[in-house]
Amino acid sequence: MRCETPSCIIRTWEAGDAPSIARHANNPRIACHLRDAFPHPYTQRDAELFIAMATRSRSAFLLAIEADGEAVGGIGLHFLRDVYRGTAEIGYWLAEEYWGRGIATDAVRALVPVAFEKFPVIRLQAGIFADNPASMRVLEKCGFSCEAVHTRAITKNGIIMDEHLYVLLK
C-alpha cells in the first residue's frame, strides 16, 4: 500500500527502512509516550525485528510514515478480538525533528478511510497518555472525540497517569 498526503507518504515497510527507523526511534521523548513494547534504547536489531513482524502480521496493519525520502515514523491498526471485534486501535509515532509539521495529522487522515473501507472495522480508538496533548490534538483534527478518561490507568517510567480514550465511529 502507498498513499501520498500533503506532507508525507504512508506505505508498506521495507527492509531498507531499518537504519532510518533505528536512528529516529532511539529517542526517549518518543518512547515515553508509547507502550513498553516500544523498546528504548531502540537498536538496528529492534528495527529489523519490527519490520519483519510488520510485513507478515495478520492481527495488525502496520505502515511506515515517509518524509524527505526516508521512513521517519510508523502508523497502524491493531485489530481487537472477541467481543471487541469491529474495533481497531490506531497508533502512530513520528521522529522528533518532524513534530509540528502536520505529518502525524496527515498520516491519521489518510489511514482512517483505509481502516473503514478495507477492514470490517466500525470503531477506531486510541489511548493517549495524559502527558501527550499534541497527540490528542492530532486525533481531534481528524474527527476523533474523547470518549473517556481512564483515571490512573497508565504506569510509564514509574509515573502513574490518566489515559484519554479517543474514538471515531464509522
Q: What is the pLDDT along the chain (170 residues), one digit of tens a residue?
A: 999 999 999 999 999 999 999 999 999 999 999 999 999 999 999 999 999 999 998 899 999 999 999 999 999 999 999 999 999 999 999 999 999 999 999 999 999 999 999 999 999 999 999 999 999 999 999 999 999 999 999 999 999 999 999 999 99
pLDDT at position 159, please?
96
- Hey, what amino acid is at 123? R
DSSP 1: -
DSSP 120: S
pLDDT at position 49, please?
96
pLDDT at position 135, please?
98
Cell 521512513 found at: 71
Question: Could you give the C-alpha distances from 91 to 62, 74, 151, 165, in angstroms and in order?
Answer: 9, 8, 20, 12
Q: How far apart are CA 55 and CA 13, in angstroms?
A: 7
Query: All domains of the chain, ordered by start, with CATH?
Result: 2-121 (3.40.630.30)
Q: Do 75 and 90 contact (CB within 8 A), yes or no?
A: yes
Q: How far apart are CA 142 and CA 5, in angstroms?
A: 14
pLDDT at position 58, please?
87
Q: How far apart are CA 73 and CA 96, in angstroms?
A: 9
Cell 502527558 found at: 131
Q: Rounded to a whole number, what is the distance in angstroms from the first to the last CA of the chain?
A: 21
pTM given for the model: 0.96
Give the number of other Cβ atoms within 10 Å of residue 15's Cβ.
10
SS3 152: strand
